[in-house]
Amino acid sequence: MLKQRFACRGRPSQQTRPFLPNAGAFAPHPSRAASQTLAEPVLHSGDVYEQLAHAAGATVATAVGTTQLGRGLIVSRDIDSSRQPLVSVPVQNALVIADDPVGSISIYSDRAHRRWQEVNGELPQLLLEFLQGDARWDIRMAAWLLYVKQMAAQPGSLPLWQAYLGLLPQEQDMCCLLNYSRAEAAELQLPGLVAEAAVQADWAAYLHGKYLHYKSGSLAPLRLSGSLAESLWAISMVRSRTFSEDMAGECLTLMVPYADLANHSFDNNSTFCMARDAKSFQLQSLRPLAAGEELTISYGATKPNAECLRDYGFVVPGNPCDRVHFTRSGEASSSSSSSSSSTIDEEDPLPRLNPVSLLLALSFTGDLSDGDIQPQQHASPLTAEQQLRLARRRSALLSMPIASPPAAASGRNSSSSSSSSSGGGLFGWMDAATQPWTPTGRPDAEPLSAKQVPQERAAVQQLQQLLLQQLSPRSNGCDEQTAVHQGGSRCTAGCALDGIPEQQGLEGRSSDAADGSGAPAQ
């Protein structure tokens, strides 16, 4: 059960990038303008970050600086094209393990272990066997990190790792969910996150006792950890700072000094990968960059704030991946899923909206059933505020309960199934019994007819009332997201939402009351 719960890893991995409307109009929130803003390098005595890069043998076109995202990597010279290496760290100066060395291949990771030992000294046989064993990827990497910390504490030993460990957050500074006490987790006021914090705390305590504790763990002879706090630190470092990469079909986890200083952005300008010769790990540009821009990567293109907080200890205002699941009788709850439709109350299903007409009414195109939607082009450039609202509107659209084709509805309750397969009825799906199926096995969706508009308008009004009832009590504070939600709730049916012109569409459509759907996860 724990393995299933933690299958979603808290580390950057290569995923499909999110939609980017109108060339960068993806609503960068106020603190996310760093990629477009020049930043100043951090001034440190002896320039410890430069020393770290030198110790790691890294080739860099960056400097460490203070940006609006915090400490990060700043491009130090103009980059005129994409796929240019900005940071390159030799593999022998990184910790590399195979995710599944027993059930899958581990050729590259075994070679990486040999190269690491050639530079840093031999690993104890007990630890080497553990790294190549069947324990979870994160506990194996945590054990290696604790061993490196132990060895680096000896004078003159492992200079790279001494420099690296000296710049990592300390035990008392960790803020990902794994480190929340019961009382601290309760302050989040989100049942899902509170429960997740308890599960993670129990899980970490189990790993500490089974593997890491210097008396009871299976690695006790190595004396890796004398306290739960020390084990929590190592596990947190691994879950929040490692990279996931594929090398010739071998899934790898890597801890890479200096490269892990790159911050997250949903509009990332760089990516990470192994070099062509497989001898180094690189951060590469995705587009031309100007000197002074912050280098950003994606920690996960579909991570909602619940997962960002769980894995990294931060949230993204206006997160485009946030969803609110709501039911007719239950409370609204933030979602850690990127699903395109909200949870349906099995006993009392919500009215389900026609996806085609809903998109047309809000000036979007695409397919709501799989979440692939984008705003229509606008004649004039949008302001930053309009871009932010546009992104929130997209999140609200993806939170709406929509009509599903008969095939997709087969596992749901009979009420929602009958509605969604009503053959050109309220929700506009074709009848599979009389209409041909598409090559994908799903009938095409059709917009509402004039006769169906009154029924759809009534469904929209029901959803509006539910959203206002369930979301308004959860509003807390006067931040920008709450202000947008409250301002939008006064929007009347038929108006142009958020000051963005709209095409003629369904009247009485969902108002901006839903545009703050991401707010509860903040």
Angle (CA) 245 309 241, round 5°? 35
Q: How far is CA 105 from CA 125, 132, 248, 459, in A?
A: 20, 11, 10, 53
Please give the pLDDT value at position 472. Answer: 57
State the residue for tokens 């909602």: 304
DSSP calls for 81-117:
SSS-EEEEEEGGGSEEEES-TTTS--HHHHHHHHHHH
Q: Are strands 294-297 and 263-264 parallel, antiparallel or unpaired?
A: parallel
Cα separation, 2 vs 139, in Å, equals 13
Evaluate if pTM is beyond 0.85. Answer: no
Q: What angle do CA 191, 197, 199 make, to 5 degrees?
A: 105
Q: Virtual CA dihedral for 96, 100, 106, 109, nearest 10 degrees?
A: 0
Which amino acid belongs to residue 232? L
**pLDDT score for 484:** 34
Name residues of the chain where pLDDT drops below 50: 1-9, 15-46, 336-346, 406-440, 473-522
Q: CA 63, 253, 201: angle at the middle one, nearest 5?
A: 100
Residues 333, 356: Cα–Cα separation, whole Å: 26
Q: pLDDT of 355-411, one tens digit each?
A: 888 888 888 888 887 777 888 888 888 888 888 788 778 878 887 878 765 444 443
pLDDT score, position 360? 84
Residue 373: helix, strand or coil by DSSP? strand
| CA–CA dist 66, 64 (Å, integer) | 7
pLDDT in the model for residue 387: 82
Number of Cβ within a 10 Å radius of residue 120: 18
Q: Which residue has the tokens 């699903």?
A: 339
φ/ψ (deg, to 5) at 157: -100, 135
Cα within 13 Å of Cα(215), Cβ side: 3
| 7 C-beta neighbours (distance < 10 Å), count | 7
Give how far the C-alpha of residue 247 lies from the chain's centroid of Cα atoms, to the nearest Å: 22
Report d(CA 239, CA 224) in Å as an integer: 18
3-state secondary structure 31-60: HHHHHHCCCEECCCCCCHHHHHHHHCCCEE
The secondary structure of residue 199, as a DSSP letter, is H
Q: Domains of the chain (ranges plus CATH)?
A: 12-312 (3.90.1410.10), 324-514 (no CATH)
Percent of the chain clearing pLDDT 90 (strictly above)? 43
7-64 pLDDT tens trace: 334 566 654 333 333 323 223 333 333 333 344 444 344 489 999 999 999 999 999 9
- Contact between 518 and 318 (Cβ < 8 Å): yes
What is the per-residue pLDDT for 511?
31
pLDDT of the residue at 328? 60
What integer pLDDT is reported at residue 447 of this predicted model?
81
